[in-house]
Amino acid sequence: MKKVFSLMLLLATLMVFLPACSDDKDEPDDIKSQIIGTWDATSVKFSDTDWVDISNYPSMALSITFNKDGSYYGRGALGNGGGTYSVTGKTIKTYIDGELYGTYYVKSLSGKNAELSLTMGSSSMEIRAVKR
């Protein structure tokens, strides 16, 4: 009986503490430093569609440059212009004249490849991008 109780106690302890452990590979390294540079979208996905390779559609081209000083400049299908940005965890918020313009959620970021979710007002889309 003592063995059964000890085994149950061990299992209960493992169930409590193991979920708290995380693999460093789950979290991207410092996103703020990794996003610095110019990113070109390669494909997009809207809620009810498959991924679309936008290299076949020049009118859908878009890029964004994040600068070290907290400023950014975007070009293409979402408009041309710049403002400031902030990074908190996996979230990048872009602002124009102090007003929120768009919010990116970093789904994955590895080297020169990124997959993001962009929300602008009530619209959203998924973006795959490469760093120049």
| Per-residue pLDDT tens over the stretch 49-104 | 899 999 889 999 999 999 999 999 999 998 899 999 999 999 999 999 999 999 99
- Flag whether 20 is in a domain: no
Q: Is the pTM of this model over 0.85?
A: no
57 domain residue, yes or no? yes
Confirm whether 5 is domain-assigned. no
Inside any domain, residue 119: yes
Domain count, the chain: 1
Euclidean distance between CA atoms 39 and 131, whole angstroms: 4
Q: Is 115 domain-assigned?
A: yes
- pLDDT exceeding 70 applies to what percent of the chain? 78
Residues 6+ away with beta carbon under 8 Å from 65:
37, 38, 39, 72, 73, 74
Instruction: Answer yes or no: is 114 within a domain.
Output: yes
Query: What confidence score (pLDDT) does residue 29 get?
Result: 53
